[in-house]
Chains A and B, each alone.
Chain A
Amino acid sequence: MTDHTTLSHLELETPEKPFLDANELVINMGPQHPATHGVLRVILRLDGEKVLGLECVIGYLHRGVEKIGEHRTYTMFNPYVDRMDYVAAVSNGLGYCETVEKLLNVEAPPRAQHVRVILTELNRIASHQLWLGTHALDIGAITPLFYTFRDREEILKIYEKYCGARLTTHAFRIGGLQYETYNGFEREVNNFLTFFRPKIDEYEELLTTNRIWVERTKNVGRISAEDCIALGVSGPVLRASGVKWDLRKAQPYANYKNFEFDIPIGENGDTYDRYLVRMAEMRQSVRIIEQAVAALPEGPIIAKVPKVMKPPAGEVYHSIEAPKGELGYFIVSDGSTQPYRVRVRPPSFVNLQALDLMCRGQLVADVIAVIGTLDIVLGEVDR
Chain B
Amino acid sequence: MIAKLKGSYGSGLEAVTYLGQNYMVVDRSMIPEILYVLRNEEQFDYCVDITAVHYPQREKQFDLIWVLYSYARNERIRVKTQIADGDSPASSVPIWAAANWLEREVFDMFGIKFEGHPDMKRILLPEGWKGHPLRKDYGILQQDNEWVQINMGIESGQ
Contact = CB atoms under 8 A, between A and B. Distances in A.
Interface in B88-142: 96-98, 100-102, 105, 109, 122-126, 133-134, 138, 140
B51 A330 contact: yes
B53 interface: yes
A58 B124 contact: yes
Nearest to B80: A315
Interface stretch (B4-12, B40-48, B145-153): B40-48
Given A229-B46, A317-B67, A103 B19 contact: yes
Chain B interface category by residue count: 20 to 34
A251 interface: yes
A353 interface: yes
B76 interface: yes
Given A64-B133, A230-B98, A330-B51, A314 B45 contact: no
Interface string A82-118: 0000000000000000000011010000000000000
A281 interface: no
Q: Is the interface of A mostly helix, strand, loop or mixed?
A: mixed
Contacts of B54: 341
A287 to B, nearest CB: 23
Contact of A330 (B47, B49, B126): B49
A66 interface: yes
A62 interface: yes
Nearest to A352: B101
Given A58-B123, A67-B133, A314-B19, A332 B53 contact: yes
B32 to A, nearest CB: 18
Contact of B101 (A62, A230, A250, A353): A353
A340 B65 CA distance: 15
B9 to A, nearest CB: 22
B74 to A, nearest CB: 6
Contacts of B134: 66-67, 341
Contact of A62 (B18, B46, B74, B125): B125
Given A67-B140, A353-B101, A328 B96 contact: no
B78 interface: yes
Contacts of B96: 230, 232
Interface string B45-73: 11111010110000000000101000100
Given A243-B71, A341-B53, A382-B124, A350 B18 contact: no
Nearest to B18: A314
Given A67-B140, A330-B65, A345 B49 contact: yes
A26 interface: no
B133 A317 contact: no
A229 B133 contact: no
Contacts of A134: none
A335 interface: no
B158 interface: no
Given A350-B98, A382-B124, A232 B74 contact: no
A349 B50 CA distance: 13
Nearest to A330: B51
A328 B125 CA distance: 22
A251 B74 contact: yes
Contact of A353 (B18, B19, B100): B100
B140 A317 contact: no
A10 to B, nearest CB: 42
A316 interface: yes
26 contacts: A58-B124, A59-B122, A59-B124, A66-B109, A66-B134, A68-B140, A103-B19, A227-B97, A230-B96, A232-B46, A232-B47, A232-B48, A232-B98, A243-B71, A250-B74, A314-B19, A328-B48, A328-B49, A328-B67, A330-B67, A341-B134, A343-B49, A352-B101, A353-B101, A382-B124, A383-B124
Given A59-B126, A64-B133, A105-B19, 12 more contacts: A59-B123, A67-B134, A67-B138, A71-B140, A227-B97, A230-B96, A230-B97, A232-B48, A232-B97, A316-B19, A332-B53, A349-B101
The 9 residue pairs across chains A and B that have the minimum distance between CB atoms: A232-B98, A59-B124, A345-B49, A343-B51, A230-B97, A62-B124, A341-B53, A353-B101, A71-B140
Interface of B: 18-19, 21, 45-49, 51, 53-54, 65, 67, 71, 74, 76, 78, 96-98, 100-102, 105, 109, 122-126, 133-134, 138, 140
